[in-house]
Chain A
Amino acid sequence: MTLDRRSFLKLVGAGAGAVGLPLIGQAAELMPKSGKRVVVVGGGYGGTIAAKYVRMMDKSIEVVLIERNDHFVSCPFSNLYLGGLLPDLNTLTIKYDKLAANHGVKVVQAEVTGIDPAAKVVTTSKGTLSYDRLVLSPGIDFRLDEMKGYDDAAMEVMPHAWKAGPQTVLLRKQLEAMKPGGNVVISIPLAPFRCPPGPYERASMVAMYLKQHKPGSKVIVLDANPDIVSKKGLFLKGWKKHYDAIIDYRPAKKVTEVDTGKMAVMIEGLEEVQGAVINVIPPQKAGHIAHAAGLVGADKKWCPVNPTTFESTLHKDIHVIGDSSIAGAMPKSGYSANSEAKVCATNIVALMNGKEVTEMSAINTCYSFLSAKEAVSVTGVYKVNAEKQAIEGVAGSVAVSPDLSEVEAIYAESWLRNILTEMST
């Protein structure tokens, strides 16, 4: 449960300043603030980088990074683990000790439960923290109200594996345990969602695994979108080359309900599809905490931001980056989150020092694997169109690979090493 401070105070039956509150109403201040402070929520692709770069650019600013876990598992490359190309998730896992030691980022392991934008205080499971500026990079949460029957228990039967970790391990175990000949169903939500090519890479990696280990098995891809959302030509080419009889791609099939008893998913009450293993990728929205703090826009899903500073257009001094933000033409990728974090950090430091902000310049490069040795990529350089006040791709730079490529697979691995090293050291 996430609550903003107001509803939280209402819940405990008192307003600010009331005396005789039960203990729970007076969450203790975790670290008193003395000088300038930036609090960052979320130690993933965006948050780690925002925290690090603020410190790299201005050591006089105290930076507190709050993350619910003591480690982070990368979604990028988790599909390769599902395909059997990685033995475990160890090479995709980072810790925060070096980030703390090298840059003086204060890392707090806690759940952020509320934000008071007026008082500039975040409430965590361990106490409250005041900030001058707040950066939120909480990733995604799911719109479960659009997927009947898909609750916490159902996720243990039909994993989403769209946040890497135990869910990913569960899905792999299910694939391994499946009898040859069984079908794997993957359902894809309407765009926008985290990692536009991700579901199609997943279909490729699962198909590769089935081809090797489960003769007769198929992947049925139920895509709510009218067509493949990203790198279409390249995925179709790779599927034809490697998985022609294995991947059964069905566009415009929106899964709206799951039935774990029958091991089936329902498509808008019209059609039922069964599977031996079912991977439900649910429709998505900004992380819960962004909703609780009133940072979500008219679409009720994502957070509108100023494209130069990533400051929320709804609450002052709160910046939203990564998957949760509406970053114009930038896709919801780890690389985007990394790049947005640096833009945001640069301009936070400028604003806190009373200096002029700098126009943004960002990059996205996102690789997808089609087989053990072939990958493809999409790239883009992004800038703000001053007239439209919106982030746009620079002409010529937004493009996909001409073909499946073994060299790109090699570069992809170095990309992963570099970006995880950036986040963790």
Chain B
Amino acid sequence: MMMKWRGWALATGVLATSALAQAAPPSAAMLSNACAGCHGTNGGSAGPSMPSLASQSKEAIVEAMKKFKSGERPATVMSRLAKGYSDAEITAMAEFFSKQKLHATSQTLDKAKIAKGASLQDSNCGRCHIEDGKEGKDDTPVMASQWLPYLQMQMAEYQSGKRKMPEKMAEKVKPLSGDDLEALLHFYASVK
């Protein structure tokens, strides 16, 4: 029964034809789903050091990927993986993730720090991290609901000089204390 069918299929080449069926180029979803093994389904991360991509700004993702590719932004696996994609594919993935619902993380945050951060954010960061960090001007990344440990790791890289701050950001960050910055990160992580 089973062997007969198989023999017939091999003889007539039915399987061979289906194997060579025409395929469309990888869709945005096809490209992006592969990222979810680290960044979570639809880019909603469950791992505290891994950024959520869901609802991230398209421009910010494109910018980050370009810098990973060129080596301008320090990274581990991303500087290698980014090299696997064309600019068009990167744009498609960025658009895919930008359209996903904001991933609300449930993490333990400090209420006093959130309040302090809230008071600092508007005048210091609000011009670019607009809408309480739910949106970003141009290629400014969305900060809302991001994992605190991820934000802290990135801030540490900025401060060590490994990751280069945009000029406008450097100006704003300079006068802020370590506590101020920590409070701001708690605030952004808390925005839902």
- What is A's interface to B at a CB cutoff of 8 Å? 4-6, 16, 52-53, 56, 116-119, 294, 306, 308, 311, 313-316, 335, 338-339, 342-343, 346, 356-363, 365, 377, 379-381, 383-384, 389, 393-399, 401, 405, 407-408, 410-411, 413-419, 421-422, 425
Contacts and interface: CB of A to CB of B under 8 A. Distances in A.
Contacts of B22: 356-357
B23 A342 contact: no
B19 A397 contact: no
Interface stretch (B55-63, B78-86, B111-119, B165-173): B78-86
B11 to A, nearest CB: 14
A117 B5 contact: yes
Interface string B67-98: 00000000011001111110001000000000
Contacts of A339: 33-34, 37
B103 to A, nearest CB: 11
A365 B21 contact: no
A113 B83 CA distance: 44
Interface of B: 1-6, 9, 14-15, 18-27, 29-31, 33-41, 45-50, 76-77, 80-85, 89, 153
B2 A362 contact: no
B18 A422 contact: no
Contact of A415 (B20, B37, B81, B153): B37
Contacts of A313: 15, 19
A-B pairs with lowest CB-CB distance, top 3:
A414-B47, A381-B84, A397-B84
A394 B29 contact: no
A419 B33 CA distance: 12
A418 B76 contact: no
A379 B81 contact: yes
Contacts of B25: 358-359
A184 to B, nearest CB: 31
B5 A118 contact: yes
Given A118-B1, A306-B18, A361-B26, A419 B81 contact: no
Contacts of A408: 76-77
Contacts of A383: 26
A380 B37 CA distance: 13
Contacts of B84: 363, 380-381, 393-394, 396-397
Given A381-B84, A394-B83, A401 B46 contact: no
A396 B80 contact: yes
Nearest to B40: A418
Contacts of B19: 306, 311, 313, 389
B181 to A, nearest CB: 20
B80 to A, nearest CB: 4
A383 B86 CA distance: 12
A363 B49 contact: no
B10 to A, nearest CB: 8
Contacts of B30: 342-343, 346, 358-361
17 contacts: A4-B2, A117-B6, A118-B2, A118-B5, A308-B21, A315-B6, A362-B34, A377-B77, A389-B20, A394-B84, A395-B83, A396-B84, A397-B80, A414-B49, A414-B50, A418-B37, A418-B47
Contact of B23 (A294, A308, A377): A308
A415 B47 contact: yes
Contacts of A421: 40-41, 46
A60 B35 CA distance: 26
A407 B50 CA distance: 11
A397 B83 contact: yes
A378 to B, nearest CB: 9
Given A294-B6, A315-B6, A338-B37, A363 B81 contact: yes
Contacts of B35: 363
A315 B39 CA distance: 35
A294 B35 CA distance: 33
Contacts of B40: 418, 421-422
B139 to A, nearest CB: 23
Nearest to B26: A361
A228 to B, nearest CB: 20
Contacts of B9: 316
Interface centre among A342, A383, A395, A401 (most CB of B within 10 A): A342
Given A118-B2, A306-B18, A418 B24 contact: no
A219 B71 CA distance: 39
A311 B33 contact: no
Contacts of B49: 410-411, 413-414
Nearest to B41: A422
Contact of B38 (A306, A314, A414): A414
A9 B29 CA distance: 44
A294 B2 contact: yes
B41 to A, nearest CB: 5
Contact of B26 (A6, A53, A358, A407): A358
